[in-house]
Amino acid sequence: MKTLSLFFILLFGCVQTGMAQNGGLDLLTISPSTYALSKAEATTSIPDGSNSIFNNPALLVFNENSSLDLSYTFWIADIKNVFGGINVLRKNSALAFAFYNSGANDYEQYNRPGPSNGNFSVQYLSLATAYAYKLNQVSLGVSAQYLREEVFTYTANGYAFNFGAAASILNDRVNLGFSANNLGKMEKLNAEATEIPRFIKFGASVNVITFTPPKNESMPITVSLATDYVHPPDKNTTDSGSEAQLNHDFFNLALSLTVSETIELSTGYRTGETARPLSFGVSLLTGGFNFNYALLPFETGFGTAHSLGIQYTF
């Protein structure tokens, strides 16, 4: 049995008295992808299978193969995030479908000190589809989401759209991306409608250099950098895992080392007011299957988030 503090009640957009809402569907502020989490979510210009539905749908057509994706993230406060999706490539286009669920159960609800009023759960769900089309080195994409939130005995439905563009230049060494995320609205959850956290993102990624160690020329190592500039136009989105508000623009930065196209080591950094500025990860690239792990330590003493993911390409 878990006792929910005032902070986590606010985190989930729920105030005990009257069930009024604080801003934010936190489902939409955390990437569902283990691979993206390992890079501090600096993936507006990096293809990431069906996860690009939620980040930049234009990247769906930039993947080398079709894929099935699954991720399971152990977030703080016993929150579990589960993601699954499929991205099917065609000649110059891609069609993708995905689900993303986030929530926790068995929280005790209090109006005042003393015995609890009972237990409740908090659940968020997104069902999404997306389409992307590429012409030469430029692509455009759009995704649509059905959203559902359940807090205590209250439920609400909503929708959101993501729009994106991407380009590959300099012989595919540099990728550029742009996305407008979470444009939509929710029904009222008891008294008020929960605000959807909107973002505008610009991203760039580059393979900086590939070199081989002096005594092992069969082991090439590629160094890659990525950065996202993120603008929250509403200036009121709660950063999941932090009491602070995202009142300013911020950057996500990532560094990756890929060894022999088999192992990728990643680290990332988020600027601005956040309780999870750093991230680390490792990916095992085996051809048909890719295995991913990400670790996100929190600065505020609430623990560490872990994420596991697998991708099957075909």
Residue 17 zone, left/alpha/beta (φ > 0; ψ -120 to 50; rest): beta
pLDDT value for 2: 47
Amino acid at 15: V
Q: Which of 17-21, 193-197, 225-229, 296-300 has the lowest mean pLDDT?
A: 17-21
Arithmetic mean of pLDDT over the chain: 86
Count the domains in the chain: 1
Q: Which of 47-56, 189-198, 218-227, 238-247 has the lowest mean pLDDT?
A: 238-247
Cβ neighbours, 10 Å, residue 223: 14
Expressed in angstroms, the distance from the first to the final Cα of the chain is 43
What is the pLDDT confidence band of residue 118, given thresholds at 50, 70 and 90? low
Mean pLDDT within 95-106: 91
Position with higher pLDDT, 242 vs 54 = 54
Mean pLDDT within 286-301: 91
CATH number at residue 153: 2.40.160.60
Mean pLDDT within 149-168: 93
Domain span at 258: 2-313
Q: Is the pLDDT of residue 217 over 60?
A: yes
- pTM, entire model: 0.86
Mean pLDDT within 285-294: 93
Angle at 160 between CA 92 and CA 198, to 5 degrees: 105
